[in-house]
Amino acid sequence: MHDSVLTILAGGSSRRFQLRNSQWQDKALLEINQIPLLIHLLEKSSSHYQDICISVNSSDRKRNYLNIIKSHVPLKIPNFIIDHQNTQFKGVFLGIYSVLNNYFDKNVQLIPSDRPFLDFLVLSKMKTEKSGISVLQYENGMIEPLLTLYGSDIYFPKEFEKLSLTRADVLIRLSLHLQVYNATSILEKNNLPSYIFDNINVQDDFTKTRKTTYNIGEIHIPSPKKIKRSKYSVPDSSTNVNDFLENLIENDNFYLAFLWSQYFIKRLSEPVRGISSIGKECLRKEYNYWLNNNMPFLALHALQDLVHFFPEEENKATIQEIIKLKTKIKVKSRKM
């Protein structure tokens, strides 16, 4: 039995799954063989995880799920976490933050509620450092940011609650000890179906015929690639802002330095000279850092942040590089 808390993220709006002019459909309650997907996940995971939690965005959703779970006896009733309200975080990161805030002293294994093909034996074999994060990555560089194992002591400054963060990979980009498991090797070495980690994104995904259960005996998980960085420092009232940011940059904590620069811009009564330029430098360096570590998915997000926060950086070369990265990891490009 794994000692991590398994947390099912079930607070999304599932916009891409909805059909036009139809009643809203909760993906977590889609039925597989007359059993809701949420129940399906709870039943499959119960033999691997002692503690199971469901993350939702409202008390109404909690009440609805609880009634459905209670109707499937003798299923154990999981804990529920409702998204925090006193923060500017939004989207999936709000759910992740709320969960980690609640289980600050335990490892947390995240899964989204739309993964009917998962076998939890695979996830239960993943390990992480106390202050680290473990992720799955495919050969093309695509990662699974919602099938992520978080250590029990993840550093995240409370000051960042004033920032509007939404992406699932925020904490991955900040991690001191990142462990990257090769998802492609796991599938091949254990003769697992190629769709084991697939999600239900649109209606067509749900209508495809795929087995939701399969027999796994012993499973071999190749050792992960490890990426380590220096311990973070924390600013106080006497800290020189520029020196503080430069120290983070020198220790490869580029995204952390960028977020601190955004915090200082928003919160300091007097602007710090050159802080905007430092923010640009951080994202450029972060882009190169992830490329050098063969993680193009995170490099892509660094570039996307660059053109979002600094529109003047949206030039032909940057846009072409974004398209190139999306093509490599098979992400559909949008017009920019």
Residues 196 and 180 in one domain: yes
Residues 39 and 177 in one domain: yes
Q: What are residue 36's phi and psi, to 5 degrees?
A: -60, 145
Residue 215 predicted with pLDDT over 70: no
Give the total number of structural domains in the chain. 2
Q: Which two tokens stand for residue 20?
A: 């036009």
If you search the block for the tokens 């006497």, which residue do you land on? 238
213 pLDDT tier (thresholds 50, 70, 90): low
- Please identify, among 227, 252, 282, the residue that sits at the C-terminal boundary of a domain: 227
pLDDT in tens, 82-120: 998 888 999 899 999 999 999 988 999 999 988 888 888
SS (H, E, C) 112-177: ECCCCCCCHHHHHCCCCCCCEEEEEECCCCCECCCCCEECCCCCCCHHHHHCCCCCCCHHHHHCCE
State how far the Cα of 13 lies from the Cα of 11, in Å rounded to an integer.
7
Strand order in the sheet with 132-137: 79-82, 49-56, 2-9, 108-112, 149-150, 132-137, 177-182, 225-228
Residues 139 and 32 in one domain: yes
Q: Which two tokens stand for residue 314?
A: 């949206």
Residue 292 predicted with pLDDT over 70: yes
For residue 246, is it within any domain?
A: yes
336 pLDDT tier (thresholds 50, 70, 90): very low
Averaged pLDDT for residues 182-189: 93
CA distances to 163, 235, 255, 288 from 281, rounded to whole Å, are 19, 20, 10, 11
Q: What are residue 324's phi and psi, to 5 degrees?
A: -60, -45
What is the CA angle 218-221-227, rounded to 5?
165
Averaged pLDDT for residues 283-308: 97
Residues 142 and 102 in one domain: yes
Write down the pLDDT at residue 209. 57
For the entire predicted model, the pTM comes to 0.90
If you search the block for the tokens 């939690």, which residue do you land on? 53
State how far the Cα of 303 lies from the Cα of 328, in Å rounded to an integer.
15
Residue 334 predicted with pLDDT over 60: no
State how far the Cα of 242 lies from the Cα of 186, in Å rounded to an integer.
44
Residues 222 and 245 in one domain: no
For residue 333, is it within any domain?
A: no
pLDDT in tens, 243-272: 999 999 999 999 999 999 999 988 776 667
Helix axes 254-267 and 241-250, enclosed angle (nearest 10): 160
Residues 45 and 149 in one domain: yes
Residues 110 and 185 in one domain: yes
pLDDT in tens, 15-55: 666 567 677 677 888 887 788 889 989 998 988 899 999 99
CA distances to 107, 121, 222, 253 from 186, rounded to whole Å, are 22, 12, 7, 30
- Alpha helices, H only, the chain: 37-45, 59-70, 91-102, 120-124, 170-174, 183-189, 203-207, 241-250, 254-267, 275-292, 296-309, 316-328
If you search the block for the tokens 């928003």, which residue do you land on? 266
Q: Which two tokens stand for residue 58?
A: 């409202």
Residues 35 and 157 in one domain: yes
Q: Which of 253, 87, 244 is nearest to 171 (CA)?
A: 253
pLDDT in tens, 54-84: 999 899 999 999 999 998 877 789 999 999 8
Structural domain of residue 102, as residue ranges?
A: 2-227
Residues paired with 228 in a beta bridge: 177
For residue 336, is it within any domain?
A: no
**What's the mean pLDDT when you consider all of the chain?**
88
Is the distance from CB of 161 to CB of 86 less than 8 angstroms? Answer: yes
Residues 212 and 292 in one domain: no
Q: For residue 256, what is the domain's CATH number?
A: 1.25.40
Q: Which of 273, 279, 281, 286 is nearest to 240 (CA)?
A: 273
For residue 335, is it within any domain?
A: no
Percent of the chain whose predicted confidence (pLDDT) is above 90: 59
Q: Which of 65, 54, 52 is nearest to 26 (CA)?
A: 65
Write down the pLDDT at residue 31. 80
Write down the pLDDT at residue 30. 82
215 in helix, strand or coil? Answer: coil
Residues 74 and 52 in one domain: yes
